[in-house]
Structures are given as structure tokens and as C-alpha cells.
Amino acid sequence: MIVTPFTPMASLLGGALIGLAAVLLMWATGRIAGVSGIAARLFPPYEDREFAGRLAFVAGLVAAPVLVRLVTGDLPAQTIAAGPAVLIVGGLLTGFGSVWGSGCTSGHGVCGLSRLSVRSLVATMTFMAAGMATVFVMRHWS
């Protein structure tokens, strides 16, 4: 594993930007900024006519590092230690679970907690605990 530096100020600032985006999306479209819900609804079945807006939001997410690299000339470190098999299993579980549980870190963890939703609190505590348990097993049970 790689030791990463503790970055409270940058993380607080980045978190505030995520919050700003969530507030702006609610102001503009009246919808929760839940990335799993937005991404999942790019696939059928289609239940409304918001496809283009969702695609634009996802395109913005993907374009963000391109813009950061253009403006600052560099990108922060990104270390992906997982191999292809772990990425595939991890991706399947992340996609399935976030839809099955009606949201992920953004929908439940940011928007849901901010709305004082008990369902989101239960969901957030559950995925935090499951994530911590998984990392514990992967790193310390060998």
C-alpha cells in the first residue's frame, strides 16, 4: 500500500465544491445530485425525458480532470492498486449495490444526510462499515 498525506484543508475545500454542485443541481433541475442514480438512468428503461441533462452532468464529471490539467498543467496523484479482476468484481458490486440501495456516497452521504433522511443515514453507515470491513479483510487478514 501507498501512504497518502493527510490533506484536511484541500479535502474540506473539495468537499465544499461537491456540496456547491449538489445545491446548484437542486436549484437548476430540482433533483438530487446522486451520481449512481444519474449514471444508472443513462440506460433503459427510460422513465422521463431528462436523458440529455444527465449525460451533460456525467460529461462534466469526466471533463473535470481535463480542465484541471489544462489550467494547472498537472493532475494530482491517482493510484489504482487493484488489478483487472478486482476492478471488475468491485465495479459490478458498486454498480449493483448503489442502485439496489437507491444511492451512493453522493446521493445518500451528501444529499441524504443534508436532508436529515433516516434512510440515507442507515445507507451511509452501512456502506462505510462494509467498505471498512472489506479493506480490513483485504489488508490485515493474510
CB of 43 to other proteins, least distance (A): 5
* 49 binds other proteins per the rule CB under 8 A: no
* Stretch 3-42 residues interacting with other proteins (CB under 8 A): 3-37, 39-41
* Stretch 54-93 residues interacting with other proteins (CB under 8 A): 54, 56-68, 75-82, 84, 86-93
CB of 58 to other proteins, least distance (A): 6
Report which of 48, 32, 30, 45 is spatially closest to residue 110, judged by C-alpha positions.
32
Q: Are 84 and 12 in contact (CB under 8 A)?
A: no
C-alpha to C-alpha distance for 4 and 15, rounded to whole angstroms: 18
Q: Are 111 and 33 in contact (CB under 8 A)?
A: yes
CB of 83 to other proteins, least distance (A): 9
Report which of 101, 93, 92, 95 is spatially closest to residue 123, judged by C-alpha positions.
101
* Stretch 95-114 residues interacting with other proteins (CB under 8 A): 95-114
Binding-site size for other proteins (CB under 8 A) equals 119
CB of 15 to other proteins, least distance (A): 3
* 131 binds other proteins per the rule CB under 8 A: yes
Which cell numbers in the block locate residue 141? 487478514
CB of 73 to other proteins, least distance (A): 14
C-alpha to C-alpha distance for 58 and 63, rounded to whole angstroms: 9
CA atoms within 13 A on the CB side of 142: 6
* 46 binds other proteins per the rule CB under 8 A: no
Our CB check for other proteins shows the closer of 73 and 118 to be: 118
- Helix, strand or coil, per DSSP, at residue 49: coil
